[in-house]
Structure 1
Amino acid sequence: MTDHSPHDTPAALACSIDALSVSLQLRDAYTRHHCDRVGLLARSLARHCSLAPAQCDQIELAACFHDIGKIGIPDDVLLNPGRHDHAEQAIMRQHPEHGERIFLATGRADAADVARLIRAHHEAFDGSGYPDGLRGESIPLGARILTLVDAWDAMTSDRPYRGAMERGRVMRILDDASGGMIDAYLLSAFQDLLRRELALA
Structure 2
Amino acid sequence: MPDPSDPLRQFADTSCSLHALALALEQRDSYTDSHCDRVCRLARLLGQRLDLDRDRLDHLAVAARFHDVGKIGVRDDVLLFPGRLDEAKRAAMHAHSELGERLFLATGRDDAVPVAAIIRSHHETFDGSGYPDGLAGTAIPLEARILSVADRYDALTSLRPYRALLGAHAAMAVLDGESGHKIDPDVFRKLQVLLRRHSHL
Q: Is the 8 A contact 2:84 2:162 kept in 1?
A: no
Counterpart position of 2:115: 114
1:130 equivalent to 2:136? Answer no
What is the CA-CA distance between 1:161 and the residue it aligns to?
2.6
What is the CA-CA distance between 1:13 and the residue it aligns to?
6.1
CA-to-partner distance for each residue in 1:23-52, whole Å, 9 max, x for gaps? 000000100000010000001110121210
Q: Is the 8 A contact 1:13 1:107 kept in 2?
A: no
1:102 equivalent to 2:98? Answer no
Counterpart position of 1:49: 50
Q: Spell out the pairing of 1:22-37 with structure 2 (5 A cutoff).
A: 22-37=23-38
Q: Deviating runs (4+, > 6 A) in structure 1?
A: none
Counterpart position of 1:5: none
Amino acid at match of 1:140: P
CA-to-partner distance for each residue in 1:55-103, whole Å, 9 max, x for gaps? 1111010000000000111111111111111110011110000000000
RMSD of aligned residue pairs (Cα, Å): 1.4
In structure 2, C-alpha distance between the alignment counterparts of 1:47 and 1:13, rounded to whole Å:
22
Amino acid at match of 1:190: L
Task: Give the paired residue count.
Answer: 190
Tell me the TM-score normalized by structure 2. 0.91
1:162 equivalent to 2:163? Answer yes
Which has the higher mean CA deviation after the structures are superposed, 66-75 or 159-168?
Answer: 159-168
Local SS of the residue matching 2:200 = helix
1:82 equivalent to 2:101? Answer no
Q: Is the 8 A contact 2:83 2:161 kept in 1?
A: no
Amino acid at match of 1:44: L
Counterpart position of 1:145: 146
Which residues of structure 1 form unaligned runs of 5+?
Answer: 1-10
For the pair shown, the structure with the greater C-alpha radius of gyration is 1
In structure 2, C-alpha distance between the alignment counterparts of 1:13 and 1:192, rounded to whole Å:
32
Tell me the TM-score normalized by structure 1. 0.91
What is the CA-CA distance between 1:12 and the residue it aligns to?
9.7
Amino acid at match of 1:94: A
Local SS of the residue matching 1:142 = helix
Counterpart position of 1:7: none
Amino acid at match of 2:103: I
Which residues of structure 2 form unaligned runs of 5+?
Answer: 1-11
Q: Is the 8 A contact 1:13 1:108 kept in 2?
A: no
Identity over aligned pairs, percent: 54
